[in-house]
Chain A
Amino acid sequence: MDINFSRNGFQNSFPNERSMATGGDVETATDPASSSFFSNDYKRHDDLKDMLDSNKDSLKLEAMKRIIGMIAKGKDASDLFPAVVKNVVSKNVEVKKLVYVYLTRYAEEQQDLALLSISTFQRALKDPNQLIRASALRVLSSIRVPMIVPIMMLAIKEAVMDMSPYVRKTAAHAIPKLYSLDDEQKDALIEVIEKLLGDKTTLVAGSAIQAFEEVCPERIDLIHKHYRKLCNLLADVEEWGQVVIINMLTRYARTQFLNPNLEENGESEPDQKFYDSSDSEADKKEVPKKTYTMDMDHRLLLRASKPLLNSRNAAVVMAVAQLYYHCAPKSEVNFVAKSLVRLLRSHKEVQYIVLSNIAAMTIQRKGMFEPYLKSFYVHSNDPTHVKLLKLEILTNLATETSISTILREFQTYVTSSDQEFAAATIHAIGRCASNISEITDTCLNGLVNLLSNRNENVVGESVVVIKKLLQMQPSGHKDIIVQMAKMTENIAVPMARASILWLIGEYSDRVPKIAPDVLRIMAKTFITEEDIVKLQILNLAAKLCITNPKQTKLLCQYVFSLAKYDQSYDIRDRARYLKALVLPGDQPSLLSKYAKKIFLCSKPAPVLQSRFKDRDQFQLGTLSHMINQAAVGYHDLPMWPEVAPDPKVRDIEITPAHVPSGRIGKKIKEKKSFYSESDGSTTTEGADSTASSEEEDDDENEEVSEEESSESEGEDTDSEEEEEEEEEEESSEDETNHAPIKSVVNTSFESPQRTTSKQEMHRPKLISETTESSEEESSEEESSEEESSEEEVVPVKKVPEKKKKIETKKKVSEKKKTDVVNLLDLDDFGPAAPAPTVTVPFSNTGVLQPMSGEVTSAMSAGSNFINPTTIHVQVEQPLRELLNRITGDGLYIQYRFTRTLSAFSPKFTSVELIFNNTLSKPLENIRLKDKKLPTGVEIDDFPIIPVVGGGSTISSYMSINFNDTTQAATFNIGVGDKQYSVNITAPVGELLVPNTLTDNDFKSLMGM
């Protein structure tokens, strides 16, 4: 063994001694305060105490480790409490950690001493390290000492407001602990829970709901406000949280929505309708009487949970399956079957649970699993209970069409070496036979064939099943009864013998000759039979005595007198009772007249039922469902309400402006990406690199860049070339270089051309996706829909110069469309930092060209409106058409708002004009003429352009003071001796003074 333990040989060292378990039994929990000095324990732990009291951390650690070993073994180490608790202040993290473990285990027993440690935790709760704060709260809340309830309450309240989601999660866990310690705190705790429910971080959501479920599951009204958020976050929550949330939402759905299966035709409605947000309001009002329309929020829940069927966690899959089973329209439940069948390949324990649930589901919804019939075929290496469950399911699934294959499969099972399984198969055959009338005879014949089987158990079970089948159709089948009567001598299985005897007694009229003979034989062996057989012999005797007293009366008397002295009082009682009825003797009692009626009435046939028949009362996937009895804390699934409660309770106050809703839209995208990332970190992380904001147009890129440390951005350009080659092995030593793997980040930081082409490729898809997702949102989020679809358009504007001209037209038209809806033109929020400097190629450096944006802003840098960074934020603007090529006789003029400050005054809006001569000959002397301006509107002319060469392009700048109106500035442009009337209207957004926000600022404003 190890050195560590060798220095105290007599001491229990953990790993190597086996005698410990027995030693532990001798030891009793003694109160150290009173008796430790005199007990053996004191001596035993003396050295440990010394070690704990020493100054050396290594000794303390060693002692703590051994103490933990004792705890792990289940041995009592409580007498060491005073020595251990001192070390709670230890500087050594490892010692401290182990002391924490010890404290949570024994504090309950040593409350007074435990109080000594509280101040340490209180101090740790203020530690800058989130892990220390969390663990302090964890231990503090795990010490089950009623005296510290107020301290715990305080700590929880503070932790709920903590910056770190990890600490908040711990706080959520602490709530049920406190509640179990003192349930008078409930009201205060509900307040805390309410706060936690509002938490947007995915890390916290699951724990918050768990706290809710444990403390106040009845306060379903607390969920309303957070319902939609929970649905949307669902995919990003950690897997355990998903299970808890889905289970809670199942309950919620059952109380808040209408039963989707109430009308059978309700399910045929196309899904499309539900997605259509414009209809939603109208639909909600119609709900009560007319055709059933699913509530939007109900649909949201079903849709949000569907991707979770692909989770690796069986519990999550099961939770979604039960949600669909209990809450979805019947027509939509079927696809969960596939995922459940996949789980059958998981661990055997999972298999067992899933199969039990499937077995219960197959009773109600046969059709669901029919396509997967073969997946339930039994494998030879399945454990017995799994085999039995599969058999159960196969039997439930059997229909006229599938029964032949199932029966063939059953034939093999009958020969299995697993006795229990073979017997169950025969019962299953019996059930199939009774359920499907077409095959009853086939099955009966098959079972009779089994009677000649070599295996006694098989024969025995067959007899029992045949008995049941015969009972169901009593006509005919004389031959079978005869054959079975012959077998009485050979069959040893008591249950089978009893069954045969019962059959003969019941149908003795059909085999009048054989029956008395059977009784004769059985009377001979009566003494050696099992109880159950004896009882049936008595029954047979009684019945025969009534129908055929001539032949059997004596026999009957003989049997009764044998039974009279039987060891079992059951049999003695039975004999006495039967005798009084059948052989009344001298004075016939009243009852004996009715003996025939009593014994030979027609008995109801047994109904062969699945043993999962009554499982339906429990919610699928629950513990109660598994054990078929209500477990502690189980609540029945509420019934659907008759009338849906007001759906408006889930409406959250509409947040002002578009910014927050844009946020929501973004979250939806995250959700769709099935990509769990805590929301809180998005805000903090995303802020530290301005570059990341560039990627808001593409959700994949965005997230990655947030995770990406900023250092790597620059260096990734060298990996462009590898774009096509996946996972190429490159031996770059640079630690920040991720070249070997083609990553999305890499592509996004490539040269503009690359980026653009790539993004363009994705563009159509992206747009459709976002619009789809937005459409699915309720109407209040419509603004986000516009915005997010616009965000997708952004990449197009980064088109390289070559393509620009071709693209422009398209863009202009696109632009116009969106402008109609959007008062504020926000499409430039996306591209920020490395936006291509587009102005350069256009400005042909005319001699008289006015200053470009850089100069402008530099000049007016004194103005306090201007953020110095404006200079760098060159925003690509869409081009708009000013003068058509045809009306302008070949001169094509476009304009755009440059969003730079005008050189003249902040009131002026700077406009860039692009003159394109589409003719072959040059156009000369282009100038601005007759302005017809509304009052207050001023124009600062662009300089006269002496000549534009054939086919060439020139840009120039002008400034217009729109006087804060959207009125058009109309003016003429003269070319040579011709004039063309044109006008420029500025959208509201262009009238604002451009101001640059850093990402941080932008995000901080979003909550406004």
Chain B
Amino acid sequence: MIHSLFIINGSGDVFMEKHWKSIIHRSICDYFFEAQTKAATPEDVPSVIPTPHHYLINIYKHKIFLVAVVTTEVPPLFVIEFLHRVVDTFSDYFTECTEATIKDNYVIVYELLDEMLDNGYPMATESNFLQELIKRPSRFSKIKSKVTGISDTVSSTLPTGQLSNIPWRRTGVKYTNNEAYFDLIEEIDAIIDKSGSTVTAEIEGYIDCLIKLSGMPDLTLTFTNPRLLDDISFHPCVRFKRWESEKVLSFVPPDGNFRLISYHIGSQNLVAIPIMVRHNISFREGSSGRLEMSIAPKQTMGKTVDNVSIEIPFSKSILNVSLTPTQGKYSFDPVTKVMNWDVGKIDVQKLPSIRGNVSCLS
């Protein structure tokens, strides 16, 4: 399936390669670079690039490319999902997955990749399972290895070989303080037309958990109105049957961070958008224009709206903007042409607004 993996940074350095079958020379990446130069932004690089003898399937995340080489027919989503799982695992091990962290921990990275795939086929992808095989680098061990020169990324004794029955949970978890945290995150994706009316709005929700519980806890989570959730994807730990019959989430959680469910509420439902933006941009003849924008809460059900930030991607012909916000700060990146306005909390009495001039190519 997956033959080799190349990790490439933004400037085109192949800074790590790993082969699970015979060696494929890194010159194969030239096909990728060719596609990369054609694309306007890194996001536009096609995910599947056919070459005469190989197929390159790549993902772009955290400003690095992971390019997998496959030689035979394989579902492309299979490879893409796996690459994302690799990134997630790195993020889990090194708190973030960037070029720097990968380079700093190249031995662990290499060992992880070795465990995750065998002969190109996923072997162990559950973070909990991997942690039984390869220790997560802690700050302490880092300091220790710096000072003493001894490092112990691999546990000095192999685990007893008692692998957990449920692949997603480690055995022998112990905490003095047992705690569990749940984050409920909802994102609204909406398209609003010029006149301000909503064309379509969808909700994507997640329940992210941080579980620190000893032993083999078995949790249940109930909702007051489970009917809303009709399109869900579950972490494998959730008992599907129980949800089908009782609409109760019942599960033995993995240890640590994980995403329990994600759900989707489609455009058929009515979605209340908590914020309203009024804006007006006009261009005068010549090389300038005027931008005005104000924000107001809307359908908040009595809750305050805070942590608001606004992002405006300007057209490429905009040179610069000079604006004055009534609250918060703004910044403009002249390379990507994106204006960021950190508004913060919205005060209903004094609605935040921003206005000023934009200068553009004549």
A72 to B103, CA, bound (A): 10
- The answer, yes or no, to whether A513 is at the interface (CB within 8 Å) is no
* Cβ-defined contact, A417 with B315, below 8 A: yes
A142: which B residues are within 8 A, CB to CB? 119
- Indicate whether A352 sits within 8 Å of B47 (C-beta atoms), given known contacts A631-B72, A685-B165, A741-B180: yes
- Indicate whether A626 sits within 8 Å of B48 (C-beta atoms), given known contacts A101-B110, A312-B234, A353-B80: yes
Shortest beta-carbon distance from B286 to chain A in Å:
16
* Cβ-defined contact, A676 with B236, below 8 A: yes
* Cβ-defined contact, A347 with B59, below 8 A: yes
- Indicate whether A131 sits within 8 Å of B159 (C-beta atoms), given known contacts A350-B80, A350-B81, A743-B218: yes
Shortest beta-carbon distance from B322 to chain A in Å:
22
- The answer, yes or no, to whether A375 is at the interface (CB within 8 Å) is yes
* Cβ-defined contact, A675 with B107, below 8 A: no
- Indicate whether A412 sits within 8 Å of B76 (C-beta atoms), given known contacts A73-B16, A173-B121: no
A61 to B150, CA, bound (A): 9
* Cβ-defined contact, B167 with A203, below 8 A: yes
- Indicate whether A727 sits within 8 Å of B180 (C-beta atoms), given known contacts A98-B107, A383-B43: yes
The stretch of A572-580, A585-593, A732-740 that contacts the partner chain: A732-740
> Chain B, 73-106, contact with A by CB distance < 8 Å: what is the 0/1 string?
1111110111010000000000000000001101
- Indicate whether A412 sits within 8 Å of B193 (C-beta atoms), given known contacts A72-B18, A74-B14, A385-B44: yes
* Cβ-defined contact, A240 with B78, below 8 A: yes
**Considering the complex, which residues of chain A in the window 694-744 have a beta carbon less than 8 Å from any beta carbon of chain B?**
699-700, 704, 706-709, 712, 726-727, 729, 731, 733, 735-736, 738, 740-744
* Cβ-defined contact, B217 with A738, below 8 A: yes
**CB contact between A353 and one of B17, B72, B76, B268 (< 8 Å): that residue:** B76
> Chain B, 34-76, contact with A by CB distance < 8 Å: what is the 0/1 string?
0000001101101110100101001111000000001111111
* Cβ-defined contact, A676 with B200, below 8 A: no
- Indicate whether A347 sits within 8 Å of B220 (C-beta atoms), given known contacts A144-B22, A765-B245: no
Shortest beta-carbon distance from A750 to chain B in Å:
14
A412: which B residues are within 8 A, CB to CB? 193-194
B53: which A residues are within 8 A, CB to CB? 632
**Considering the complex, which residues of chain A in the window 336-383 have a beta carbon less than 8 Å from any beta carbon of chain B?**
338-339, 341-342, 345, 347-350, 352-354, 371-372, 374-375, 377, 379-381, 383
> Chain A, 255-268, contact with B by CB distance < 8 Å: what is the 0/1 string?
00000000000000
- The answer, yes or no, to whether A4 is at the interface (CB within 8 Å) is yes
**Considering the complex, which residues of chain A in the window 190-214 have a beta carbon less than 8 Å from any beta carbon of chain B?**
203, 207, 210
- Indicate whether A312 sits within 8 Å of B77 (C-beta atoms), given known contacts A3-B149, A633-B72, A738-B213: no
**CB contact between A176 and one of B119, B165, B238 (< 8 Å): that residue:** B119
* Cβ-defined contact, A626 with B119, below 8 A: no
A319: which B residues are within 8 A, CB to CB? 75
- The answer, yes or no, to whether B264 is at the interface (CB within 8 Å) is yes
> Chain B, 170-194, contact with A by CB distance < 8 Å: what is the 0/1 string?
0000101111100000000101011
- Indicate whether A712 sits within 8 Å of B220 (C-beta atoms), given known contacts A312-B234, A380-B313: no
- The answer, yes or no, to whether B224 is at the interface (CB within 8 Å) is no
* Cβ-defined contact, A173 with B118, below 8 A: yes
* Cβ-defined contact, A130 with B231, below 8 A: no
* Cβ-defined contact, B241 with A207, below 8 A: no
- The answer, yes or no, to whether B353 is at the interface (CB within 8 Å) is no
- The answer, yes or no, to whether A166 is at the interface (CB within 8 Å) is yes
Interface size on A, residues (CB 8 A): 132
A352 to B193, CA, bound (A): 25
* Cβ-defined contact, A681 with B165, below 8 A: yes
- The answer, yes or no, to whether A688 is at the interface (CB within 8 Å) is no
- Indicate whether A735 sits within 8 Å of B151 (C-beta atoms), given known contacts A384-B40, A626-B76: no
- The answer, yes or no, to whether B259 is at the interface (CB within 8 Å) is yes
A685: which B residues are within 8 A, CB to CB? 165
- Indicate whether A173 sits within 8 Å of B123 (C-beta atoms), given known contacts A93-B158, A377-B191, A735-B215: yes
> Chain B, 142-157, contact with A by CB distance < 8 Å: what is the 0/1 string?
0000100111111111
> Chain B, 1-33, contact with A by CB distance < 8 Å: what is the 0/1 string?
100000000000111111101110010000000
A375 to B269, CA, bound (A): 12
A130: which B residues are within 8 A, CB to CB? 161, 163
Shortest beta-carbon distance from A760 to chain B in Å:
15
- Indicate whether A93 sits within 8 Å of B111 (C-beta atoms), given known contacts A310-B232, A341-B266, A350-B77: no
- The answer, yes or no, to whether B122 is at the interface (CB within 8 Å) is yes
A317 to B318, CA, bound (A): 42
* Cβ-defined contact, A353 with B240, below 8 A: no
**CB contact between B125 and one of A101, A240, A621 (< 8 Å): that residue:** A240
- The answer, yes or no, to whether A629 is at the interface (CB within 8 Å) is yes
B252: which A residues are within 8 A, CB to CB? 704, 707
Shortest beta-carbon distance from A405 to chain B in Å:
9
- The answer, yes or no, to whether A58 is at the interface (CB within 8 Å) is yes
B17: which A residues are within 8 A, CB to CB? 72-74
Shortest beta-carbon distance from A459 to chain B in Å:
18
* Cβ-defined contact, A741 with B219, below 8 A: yes
- Indicate whether A674 sits within 8 Å of B119 (C-beta atoms), given known contacts A318-B75, A622-B73: no
- The answer, yes or no, to whether A65 is at the interface (CB within 8 Å) is yes
* Cβ-defined contact, B75 with A707, below 8 A: no
**Considering the complex, which residues of chain B in the window 291-349 have a beta carbon less than 8 Å from any beta carbon of chain A?**
313, 315-316
* Cβ-defined contact, A417 with B77, below 8 A: no
- The answer, yes or no, to whether B133 is at the interface (CB within 8 Å) is yes
* Cβ-defined contact, B160 with A170, below 8 A: no
> Chain A, 56-77, contact with B by CB distance < 8 Å: what is the 0/1 string?
0010011001001101111000
A173 to B2, CA, bound (A): 13
**Considering the complex, which residues of chain A in the window 160-186 have a beta carbon less than 8 Å from any beta carbon of chain B?**
164, 166, 169-170, 173-174, 176-177, 180
- The answer, yes or no, to whether A14 is at the interface (CB within 8 Å) is yes
**CB contact between B240 and one of A350, A673, A744 (< 8 Å): that residue:** A673
- The answer, yes or no, to whether A97 is at the interface (CB within 8 Å) is yes
**CB contact between B146 and one of A3, A176, A354, A731 (< 8 Å): that residue:** A3
> Chain B, 212-252, contact with A by CB distance < 8 Å: what is the 0/1 string?
01111111111000000001111111111111010000101
A769: which B residues are within 8 A, CB to CB? 245
> Chain A, 13-47, contact with B by CB distance < 8 Å: what is the 0/1 string?
01100100100000000000000000000000000
Query: Most chain-A Cβ atoms within 10 A of its Cβ — which of B19, B47, B238?
Result: B47
A101 to B40, CA, bound (A): 38
- Indicate whether A314 sits within 8 Å of B81 (C-beta atoms), given known contacts A129-B161, A673-B239: yes
* Cβ-defined contact, B43 with A674, below 8 A: no
- The answer, yes or no, to whether B114 is at the interface (CB within 8 Å) is yes
**CB contact between B77 and one of A2, A105, A314, A704 (< 8 Å): that residue:** A314
**CB contact between A243 and one of B40, B78, B266 (< 8 Å): that residue:** B78
A345: which B residues are within 8 A, CB to CB? 189, 202, 204, 264
- The answer, yes or no, to whether B166 is at the interface (CB within 8 Å) is yes
- The answer, yes or no, to whether B267 is at the interface (CB within 8 Å) is yes
A544: which B residues are within 8 A, CB to CB? none
A789 to B55, CA, bound (A): 52
Query: Most chain-A Cβ atoms within 10 A of its Cβ — which of B14, B70, B123?
Result: B123
* Cβ-defined contact, A105 with B123, below 8 A: no
* Cβ-defined contact, A349 with B242, below 8 A: no
- The answer, yes or no, to whether A282 is at the interface (CB within 8 Å) is no
* Cβ-defined contact, B72 with A632, below 8 A: yes
- The answer, yes or no, to whether A399 is at the interface (CB within 8 Å) is no
A311: which B residues are within 8 A, CB to CB? 233-234, 236
* Cβ-defined contact, A342 with B216, below 8 A: no
Closest to A378 in B: B191
A473 to B17, CA, bound (A): 58
- Indicate whether A623 sits within 8 Å of B75 (C-beta atoms), given known contacts A173-B119, A377-B200: yes
B194: which A residues are within 8 A, CB to CB? 412
**CB contact between B199 and one of A180, A377, A626, A677 (< 8 Å): that residue:** A377
- 17 A–B contacts, CB within 8 A, in A order: A21-B13, A129-B158, A131-B159, A173-B123, A174-B119, A210-B121, A240-B82, A314-B80, A349-B60, A352-B46, A374-B267, A375-B200, A623-B73, A626-B76, A673-B241, A738-B215, A741-B219
Known: A72-B18, A379-B189. 8 other contacts (CB 8 A): A58-B150, A73-B16, A131-B158, A379-B191, A384-B40, A709-B216, A712-B215, A726-B221
